[in-house]
Amino acid sequence: MLAFAYKFYGSPDVVEKVTVQKPIPKPNEVLVRIYATTVSAGDWRARSLTMPKGLGFVGRLVFGITGPRKPILGTEFSGIIEDVGSDVTNYHPGDAVIGFPGADFGAHAEFITMPADGKLTRKPDNISFEQAAAIPFGFTAAYDFLVNKAQLKSGQTVLINGGSGSVGSACIQIAKHLGAHVVAVCSDSNSDLVRSLGADQVIDYTSQNVIVEGVHYDLVVDTVGTLPWRRAQHALRRGGKMVLIAGKTSDMLFGFFKAALKGKKMIGGVASESPDVLNAVVDLVTKDVLRPIIDRSYMFDDMNAAHSHVDTGHKKGNVVVTLQPL
């Protein structure tokens, strides 16, 4: 089968089209022909080995010390099951599915195997394969941080930094679904998009102050790592929570203690890749509560161009790559 793989960390040029052996499903696995995938922030970080200052060696421990441990990237996909293992009873060939290999990667290929009881769910009939592929990475992170970790409640006020990205656009929608008052931070060119997702107010970071004296929030969410604790703390009411989805190394390591000293809370860590979270967000998409945002779509042969667009740091929502006529 065809896949895009890399042997060295670096620019989009390190990703090359290769021929590899088509996987064979184990007794508890399904084989999926991939129809659409994405180039996510996770792919960008793994490929470029771009890590917060001071965590470069940790990045190599995670992704591979001398080179990539998992040469085929791709954190999410949609497709059709082609074959099932001998022990699989809940899926059948022909079923349309959404998969979330996440940190296991492997979705930048024509085929992938997934555990039948793992991060896999049926694709709703009312969304396309492109839309389906754009659900897992951003929405599961947003749902886990806002619902499970921060326990956001109706009526609370939320500042979302990076409101137009994959995770940020998902955070806006989930926060509005929960009944929060949402203030989104983005550039003016993306203000219409974030308002359409439910943002009650938009702050253009290129011309306005993100942190305003006297304005306080119950939650401050940083999805892009440009709002460190030393600034964000002034926007939190006493008892408020800083949700650190991306951020400085010192905030990741010591943020809990920094926040506690101010009578506030820091919530960080790694987003859950639980099948329960995946099913929860797909259910909300099925009910038209959430909608995945697609910035650009590329064909499989244009994978390098898709990576290059993500490298700009200015994508809106998700960058999708299609492998089959949709």
For residue range 51-100, list pLDDT tens digits in order. 677 666 666 777 878 889 999 999 999 999 999 999 999 999 999 999 99
Tokens found for residue 179:
């009944």
Query: How far, in Å, CA of 178 to CA of 207, rounded?
Result: 30
Paired with 22 in beta bridges are: none
Strands 77-84 and 181-186: unpaired
Query: How far, in Å, CA of 185 to CA of 203, rounded?
Result: 5
Tokens found for residue 226:
């440009």
Query: How far, in Å, CA of 118 to CA of 274, rounded?
Result: 8
Q: Read off the pTM.
A: 0.93
Residues near 185 by beta carbon (within 8 Å), at least 6 away in sequence: 159, 160, 161, 162, 163, 202, 203, 205, 210, 227
CATH-assigned architecture of domain 2-135+292-322: Alpha-Beta Complex (3.90)
Tokens found for residue 290:
């959430």
Q: Which helix (H) or strand (E) holds 56?
A: helix 56-63
pLDDT (tens, 9 = 90+) of the chain, 326 residues, equals 999 999 999 999 999 999 999 999 999 999 999 999 999 999 999 999 876 776 666 667 778 788 899 999 999 999 999 999 999 999 999 999 999 999 999 999 999 999 999 999 999 999 999 999 999 999 999 999 999 999 999 999 999 999 999 999 999 999 999 999 999 999 999 999 999 999 999 999 999 999 998 899 999 999 998 999 999 999 999 999 999 998 888 888 888 889 889 999 999 988 988 999 999 999 999 999 999 999 999 999 999 999 999 999 889 999 999 997 65
What is the CATH number assigned to the segment(s) 137-267? 3.40.50.720
Q: How would DSSP label each residue in 130-171?
A: HHHHTSHHHHHHHHIIIIIIS---TT-EEEEESTTBHHHHHH
Query: How far, in Å, CA of 40 to CA of 166, rounded?
Result: 8
Query: How far, in Å, CA of 268 to CA of 230, rounded?
Result: 16
For residue range 143-157, list pLDDT tens digits in order. 999 999 999 999 999
Domain spans, the chain: 2-135+292-322, 137-267
Paired with 160 in beta bridges are: 184, 221
Query: How far, in Å, CA of 162 to CA of 168, rounded?
Result: 5
